[in-house]
Amino acid sequence: MRVPVSFSAPVVHGLYRAVCGSLRFHEHNRHWLDELNARGERMVFCLWHDEMVPLMRMQKQLDIVTVVSPSRDGELLAAVLEKLGLRTVRGSSTRGGAKALLGAARLMRRQGVHACITVDGPAGPRHKAKDGAFFLARHADAYIAPVRLVMSPALRIPSWDRLQIPLPLGRVTVLHGQPWKPDVPELTPEALAADRARLEAELAALAPYVDGAAGGEA
C-alpha cells in the first residue's frame, strides 16, 4: 500500500531539514552568481541528478523555481521542495515538459526568479545533458549556470543515477562554473548539440575539484 503524499511529505521534509541543517557548506566561485543576481540577471542552475539533495542551501539565498517530474515520486519531491520554500512546475522530457518549461520561463521573466534543473533527469542516461535547460534559458533570456554539489561523507543509492545522500554532520562543497548564455538564439538541433557538449564539458571540468573536495568519484 502506498503512503499518501500528504502524510509522507511532512516526514521527509522534517528528516531533510534535520540532516541538511547539520551539514557544513562551502562555496567556490560564488561571486559569479552574486554579480549576475545584483544586475537582475536570471540564471538556470544546471546540475546532475545524483547531486540534487542539498538544494535547501541554494534556496536560502536565491528565489528558485524547479522543474519536477509528474511521476508519483515527483509528487512527493514537489511537496517537499514547496515546504522548503522553492517554487515548482511539473513536467519531464516525456510528459508535459514543454508546457512546464514555458511556465517556468514566465515566472522567471515576470518575477525575476532563477531556475534549477537536473539536466540528466528524471531518468537518465546518467551525466548526459538533455535540452530542457537550454530551451528554458532561451525563453527566459537567462544564463546557464553549471554547478556541482559534493557531499562527504555520503551514501550512494543503487538507482540509475547513483543518487548521493549526505550523512549528518558532513560537508557539502558547492562548485560553480562560470555562467554563460547560449551563443545561438534559435533552438536548432546544431545549437542544442553544441550547448549539450559545452555544458557536459564544463561540468566534467569541475570533476577534479569534486575529487579534491570529496575524495571520491565524480
Three-class DSSP labels, 11-40:
HHHHHHHHHHHCCEEEEECCHHHHHHHHCC
Please state the domain extents for the chain.
Answer: 5-214
Cβ count within 10 A of residue 151: 23
User: Are the beta carbons of 97 and 130 closer than 8 angstroms?
Assistant: no
pLDDT tens track, the chain, 218 positions: 567 777 788 888 888 888 888 999 999 999 999 999 999 999 999 999 999 998 766 666 788 898 887 777 778 888 888 888 888 888 765 566 788 899 999 999 999 999 999 999 888 999 999 999 999 999 999 999 999 999 999 999 999 999 999 999 999 999 999 999 998 888 899 999 999 999 999 999 997 656 555 444 44
> What confidence score (pLDDT) does residue 4 get?
75
DSSP-derived 3-state class of residue 44: strand
Query: Could you tell me the pTM of the whole model?
Result: 0.88
> What confidence score (pLDDT) does residue 77 get?
82
Q: Which CATH class is domain 5-214?
A: alpha beta
Instruction: Extract the C-alpha cell encoding 146.
Output: 553549471
Closest CA to 151 of 55, 78, 73: 55
Strand 87-90 relative to strand 24-28, pairing: unpaired
What sign for the dihedral angle of Cα 18, 22, 28, 29?
positive
> What confidence score (pLDDT) does residue 215 get?
40
> What confidence score (pLDDT) does residue 164 get?
94
